[in-house]
């Protein structure tokens, strides 16, 4: 191979085969020649275009290229055919009116980038693995918590029932023979044990719901009779506060399939709450309507109302709102979360609307047919 | 056993960078009641060994090998909710790649196999410095230590790390494995370190469960 052959080989290689950019720029910055690689990566033939069009933005470095400043490689971004810019490192050589421009990728930079991407991917994968592991541990702890709560609550229930019944019995049978102080203490024992028992019953419900052991027994139910009996039962409690519970029902309510015990629990809770937060002498309205194969049941009070920013907390376990009961009645903070679970298991929805100073309306829906949540 | 056509389709997608297709094949296998173990050994391990083989024979580039590894690692994430849900048996394994060994996917697979069998598989990642490994073992008192080696060149580091482990902990079994052992090294391990075993495949881990 002669020297001439060797030169021709190199020129041919750079023009047609090498993965480096070669541009020849004539007077006025017009591209006179672009090699195969330059055309391939940009997806364009730049011959006849201005050199500035080859780059993503006009840049003072482009002037350096045209001036043929050889001191150092000049970094510039090229518009690639896939729409993403790519950084190349340019060298330039000026010969009379022509400028020869060669550009290449930085191998070290790309290698470093590749390694870093691998490490970032590894790190992310490892973090994700830890998260999944922790998540599985949390789920197991949650199961254990439910088991513990279930056992603890179940075992506490019997002795507490005894305390409540005994104190009630002594108060009823021997109350007159007791000193005022003893009667007061016994009465406190009775009220406290009653509250604790309701807390334990609620906890047991939460455990059942969370562990998925929440079976519903659906029965065909005449809503008029069903709602009437619930209202009558709650009227006794409401009478103590001189609150009247009114039932507002249309004549054409169809029979509905529900778990009567559970829906009784829902209504008792909503009505008790309504009474709890209403002032003496007001009324509570229980109503039901049928809309597109769904029954809407609502409990409305004319009490204090709930601040708007607390409405979203109502159905979360252990959340208590700032509103206080009007006669010091206690609340466990679990009732409405259980209510929501029962309604959801019936494939219904529940929500609350409230205006401070005017009262609240709690509404839940129940599908007319059996439509158990699976 | 994973059907050979399904495996081939997966492997082709893997080395072509078609990660969505790999994910679809994986999901189909899971729906088709293939066990996590089967997928780890019959799909992930087998395909990555084949990727390594292709790379050594210059049939694919290093970039393609890295891409296939990255896709596999990301697919392994999809399996994790199933892995960690198994009931714990109260045993621990510490798994790592030694210092200078940046390939970690094999080690992670081993840690995952321990997890799916109820062990706590502590995975320390690639390039674990010797001191850190020793400290971790000391803090966690595992029942077994696993070290993975992909590049044969790193064998001396592996052996010196194993000697250090044996120096500090006399009785914890050490298992080693990985692509590197296709080029040798099994005898060195057997002769030099007490209670150290070479395992050919993640299937060989079954002897511990």
CB contact under 8 A, A125 and B73: yes
CA distance B32 to chain A (A): 23
Bigger pLDDT: A1 vs B104: B104
What is the CATH classification number for the domain harbouring B183?
3.40.50.280
Q: Clarify whether residues B51 and B103 are in a common domain.
A: no
Does B73 map to a domain? Answer: yes
What is the CATH classification number for the domain harbouring B76?
1.10.1240.10
Task: With a cut of 90, say whether residue B128 has pLDDT above it.
Answer: yes
Q: Which residues of B touch A138 (CB under 8 A)?
A: none
Amino acid A370: pLDDT: 67
Q: Clarify whether residues B159 and B203 are in a common domain.
A: yes
Does B123 map to a domain? Answer: yes
**Res. A3 pLDDT band, cuts 50 70 90:** very high
Last-in-domain residue among B82, B109, B131: B82
Mean pLDDT, residues B32-52 taken together: 92
Task: With a cut of 80, say whether residue B143 has pLDDT above it.
Answer: yes
The tokens for A7 are 């030169």
ipTM at complex level:
0.82
**Res. B148 pLDDT band, cuts 50 70 90:** very high
Amino acid A374: pLDDT: 45
Does B13 map to a domain? Answer: yes
Range of the domain at B176: 92-208
Contact status, residue A190 vs residue A168, Cβ threshold 8 Å? yes
CB contact under 8 A, A121 and B77: no
CB contact under 8 A, B76 and A114: no
Domains of chain A: residue spans and CATH:
3-105 (3.30.450.20), 110-210 (1.10.287), 219-367 (3.30.565.10)
Task: With a cut of 70, say whether residue A272 has pLDDT above it.
Answer: yes
Q: Clarify whether residues B111 and B177 are in a common domain.
A: yes
Q: Clarify whether residues B56 and B107 are in a common domain.
A: no
Does B135 map to a domain? Answer: yes
CA distance A117 to chain B (A): 10
CB contact under 8 A, B73 and A133: no
Task: With a cut of 70, say whether residue A343 has pLDDT above it.
Answer: yes
Amino acid A82: pLDDT: 85
Q: Measured between alpha carbons, how far is A254 from A365 in angstroms, rounded to an integer? A: 14
Among A114, A121, A139, beta carbon nearest to B73: A121
Q: Clarify whether residues B71 and B124 are in a common domain.
A: no
Per-residue pLDDT tens for A208-254?
777 777 778 888 999 999 999 899 888 887 888 899 999 999 888 88
Does B133 map to a domain? Answer: yes
Last-in-domain residue among B25, B53, B82: B82
Q: For chain B, what is the HEC assignment?
A: CCCHHHHHHHHHHHHHCCHHHHHHHHHHHHHCCCCHHHHHHHHHHHHHHHHHHHHHCCCCCHHHHHHHHHHHHHHHHHHHHHHCCCCCCCCEEEEEEECCCCCCHHHHHHHHHHHHCCCEEEECCCCECHHHHHHHHHHHCCCEEEEECCCHHHHHHHHHHHHHHHHHCCCCCEEEECHHHHHCCHHHHHHHCCCEEECCCHHHHHHHC
Q: Clarify whether residues B24 and B67 are in a common domain.
A: yes
Closest of A272, A286, A196 to residue A241, by C-alpha: A272
Among A121, A132, A137, beta carbon nearest to B80: A132
Interface probe with A: pick from B72, B80, B81, B102, most Cβ of A within 10 Å: B80
In terms of CA atoms, which chain A residue is nearest residue B71? A121
Amino acid B113: pLDDT: 94
Ramachandran angles phi, psi of B197, nearest 5°: -130, 140
The number of domains in chain B is: 2
Q: Clarify whether residues B72 and B129 are in a common domain.
A: no
Per-residue pLDDT tens for A125-142?
899 999 999 998 898 888
Q: Clarify whether residues B9 and B108 are in a common domain.
A: no
Lowest mean pLDDT among A38-42, A307-311, A327-331, B71-75: A327-331
Amino acid A58: pLDDT: 78
Q: Clarify whether residues B150 and B190 are in a common domain.
A: yes
Amino acid A327: pLDDT: 67
Size of interface A-B (CB pairs under 8 A): 44
Q: Clarify whether residues B38 and B99 are in a common domain.
A: no
Q: Which residues of A touch B73 (CB under 8 A)?
A: 121-122, 125
Does B87 map to a domain? Answer: no
Does B181 map to a domain? Answer: yes
Task: With a cut of 80, say whether residue A325 has pLDDT above it.
Answer: no
Q: Clarify whether residues B120 and B186 are in a common domain.
A: yes
Last-in-domain residue among B82, B111, B139: B82
- Sorted by sequence, the CB contacts under 8 Å of residue B60 that are 6+ apart come out as B15, B51, B54, B68
- Sorted by sequence, the CB contacts under 8 Å of residue A103 that are 6+ apart come out as A20, A21, A23, A76, A78, A88, A89, A90, A91
Q: Clarify whether residues B28 and B72 are in a common domain.
A: yes
Interface probe with A: pick from B68, B125, B128, most Cβ of A within 10 Å: B125
């Amino acid at each position: 191979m002669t020297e001439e052959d060797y030169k021709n080989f190199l020129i041919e290689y750079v023009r047609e085969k090498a993965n480096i950019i070669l541009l020849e720029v004539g007077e006025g910055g017009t591209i006179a020649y672009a090699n195969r690689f330059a055309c391939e990566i940009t997806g364009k033939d730049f011959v006849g275009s201005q050199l500035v069009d080859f780059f993503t933005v006009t840049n003072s470095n482009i002037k350096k290229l045209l001036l043929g400043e050889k001191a150092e490689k000049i970094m510039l971004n090229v518009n690639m055919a896939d729409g993403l810019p790519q950084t190349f490192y340019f060298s330039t050589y000026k010969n009379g009116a022509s400028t020869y421009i060669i550009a290449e990728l930085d191998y070290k930079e790309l290698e470093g980038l590749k390694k870093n991407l691998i490490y970032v991917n590894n790190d992310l994968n490892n973090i994700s693995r830890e998260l999944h592991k922790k998540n599985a541990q949390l789920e197991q702890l949650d199961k254990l918590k439910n088991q513990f709560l279930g056992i603890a609550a179940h075992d506490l229930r019997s002795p507490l029932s005894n305390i409540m019944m005994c104190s009630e019995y002594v108060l009823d049978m021997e109350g007159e023979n007791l000193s005022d102080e003893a009667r007061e203490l016994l009465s406190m024992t009775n009220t406290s044990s009653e509250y604790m028992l309701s807390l334990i019953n609620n906890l047991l419900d939460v455990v059942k719901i969370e562990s998925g052991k929440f079976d519903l027994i659906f029965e065909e139910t005449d809503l008029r009779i069903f709602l009437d009996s619930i209202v009558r039962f709650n009227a006794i409690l409401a009478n103590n506060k001189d609150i009247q519970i009114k039932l507002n029902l249309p004549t054409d309510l169809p029979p509905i399939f529900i778990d009567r015990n559970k829906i009784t629990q829902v209504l008792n809770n909503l009505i008790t709450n309504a009474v709890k937060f209403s002032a003496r002498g007001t009324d509570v309205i229980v109503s039901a309507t049928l809309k597109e194969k769904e029954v809407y049941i609502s409990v409305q009070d004319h009490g204090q109302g709930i601040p708007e920013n607390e409405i979203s907390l109502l159905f979360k376990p252990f959340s208590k709102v700032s509103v206080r009961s009007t006669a010091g009645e206690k609340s466990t903070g679990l009732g409405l979360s259980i209510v929501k679970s029962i309604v959801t298991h019936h494939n219904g929805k529940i929500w609350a609307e409230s205006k401070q100073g005017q009262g609240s309306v709690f509404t839940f829906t129940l599908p007319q047919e059996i439509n158990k949540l699976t | 056993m994973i059907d050979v056509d399904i495996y081939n389709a997966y492997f082709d997608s893997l080395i072509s960078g078609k990660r969505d297709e790999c994910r679809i094949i994986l999901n189909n296998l899971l729906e088709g009641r293939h066990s996590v173990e089967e997928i780890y050994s019959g799909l992930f391990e087998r395909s990555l060994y084949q990727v390594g083989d292709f790379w050594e024979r210059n049939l694919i580039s290093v970039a393609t090998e890295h891409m296939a590894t990255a896709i596999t690692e990301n697919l392994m994430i999809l399996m994790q909710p199933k892995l960690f849900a198994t009931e714990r048996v109260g045993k621990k394994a510490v798994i790592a790649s030694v210092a200078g060994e940046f390939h970690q996917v094999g080690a992670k697979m081993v840690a995952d196999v321990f997890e799916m069998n109820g062990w706590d598989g502590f995975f320390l990642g690639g390039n674990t410095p010797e001191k850190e490994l020793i400290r971790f073992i000391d803090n966690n008192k595992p029942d077994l230590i696993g070290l993975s080696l992909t590049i044969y060149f790193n064998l001396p580091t592996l052996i010196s790390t194993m000697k250090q482990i044996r120096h500090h902990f006399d009785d914890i079994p050490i298992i080693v494995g990985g692509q590197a052992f296709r080029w040798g090294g099994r005898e060195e391990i057997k002769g030099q370190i007490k209670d150290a075993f070479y395992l050919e495949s993640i299937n060989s881990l079954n002897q511990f469960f």
